[in-house]
A and B are shown apart, each in its own frame.
Chain A
Amino acid sequence: MTTSDCYNHLNKEDLLRYNRQIIIPEFGEAGQQKLKESAVLVIGAGGLGAPILQYLTAAGIGRIGIVDFDEVSISNLQRQVLFNTEELGQPKAKTAAEKLQLQNPGVDFEVHNCPINSQNALQLIAAYDLVVDGSDNLATRYLVNDACFFLKKTLVYGAIFRFEGQVSVFNALKADGTRGPNYRDLFPTPPPPEMVPSCSEGGVLGVLPGIIGSMMANEAIKLLVGMGESLSGKLFVFDALDFSTFKLNIEANPDNPISGQHPTIKQLVDYEAFCMGEVKEAPIKEISVQELKARMDSSLVELVDVREDYEYEIANLGGKLIPLNKVISRLSEIPRDKEVVMMCKMGGRSKKAIELLQKEGFENLINLKGGITAWQKEIDPSMTAY
């Protein structure tokens, strides 16, 4: 916020221009003043970006940043109603700012004609009070979520696919000073890329971004004015095909890799690689049965056994029993703060379990080479072999 914004009180023209919202009791002159003193960063000037930008501009936000590196193309025009046929090939962020400036000369626009990435995201976002994400790919969504979390900024989220839209508010400041749930509480890690088609791959009904983007602008204005209840802690889902809506409660996920009980992501990462599933897999540490025996003789060793109940009954080393197919749903039962030896009958299933868990951010797991079978043969022949 610049110094002039802080002392920039509503003038006579403002009172006229914004009269229809100022006369709403919940909004009032105070609400308008707050909008005028606010700075909002809108990521993506596409389908969602168009209504977000148009309504935030019209509402009288003091300063609006627009991030988009793309140019207007003909397949955009079916839904990106801010642009017209004469603007094909023009840079979106700059073209949008020029047109929006005509709609409302009182708004300061900042054009960021570049991709947002791990190198520039923190600097870009730090200069604004609120972020509205209308980007079109999963890598940017995780990037913006994580950057907003690290910078303690509230994020208005929306995304679309064919006839469906999602809206939420992430990382919102709560009355007790803590922050609300974020994107990773819903989706801690991305599914494979083919499971998340973009608009260009999966298609989108032209009117849908108009609906969802308008809802996002509504949330942004409510948050800035401080009126009503935001979608913090809720995911709103809309299906234009049958007009069904859901509003689901999101809670903080203890396994969230940035804000959970044991965060493993402490700075921005390479989100392209992360969403393509290209994250380099960490090698799997191993321990022999002799080494494990020596350790168990000298100290307490945390053991997790990923076999089935009936196998455990035949022979076990007293480890916590979590069958392989339950490992992901029982993540929170596996310690992250000390070394844990994972075991099964021969060492194959426990290796698989470690691969799954390392994807969830575990770095403390060791595989028992040869499994309980090796233990029976080499350490304790009195144990039942099976």
Chain B
Amino acid sequence: MKIKITAFGIAKDIVGGKHLELEVSGAELSGVRQELISQFPDFGKLASLKFAVNTNYVDDSCQLNENDEVVLIPPVSGG
């Protein structure tokens, strides 16, 4: 299944751009997390990051649909 990823902050650096399409096998969001960690080992450092799907923060058990947008927003601290 094709999932759209939109990355902010340091996640954008890790996945090499703001937008990315990811092919995942299962429909569970946890699969996206695992796929990101396996393709981009540095993403492991953000392993505890909560993901948003479309416009909602959800748990990793969330079931995804084709073309859902997974949004990665790591904490930023600047002021």
Contact = CB atoms under 8 A, between A and B. Distances in A.
Do the two chains belong together in a single complex? yes
Nearest to B50: A186
A244 to B, nearest CB: 8
B46 A330 contact: no
Contacts of A166: 73, 76
Given A160-B76, A196-B74, 16 more contacts: A46-B79, A134-B79, A138-B75, A160-B78, A161-B10, A161-B78, A189-B48, A191-B46, A235-B57, A237-B73, A246-B73, A247-B55, A248-B55, A249-B55, A253-B50, A330-B61
A44 B77 CA distance: 12
Contact of A329 (B30, B56, B77): B30
A137 B74 CA distance: 14
A54 to B, nearest CB: 15
B61 to A, nearest CB: 6
B1 interface: no
Interface in A245-270: 246-251, 253
Which residue, A138, A194, A242, A248, has most C-beta atoms of chain B within 10 A? A248
A198 B77 contact: yes
Interface in B26-79: 30, 33-34, 45-50, 52, 55-57, 59-61, 71, 73-79
Interface of A: 44, 46-49, 133-138, 141, 158-161, 164, 166, 186-192, 194-199, 202, 204, 209, 235, 237, 239, 242, 246-251, 253, 325-326, 328-330
Contacts of B6: 246
B18 interface: yes
A161 B74 CA distance: 11
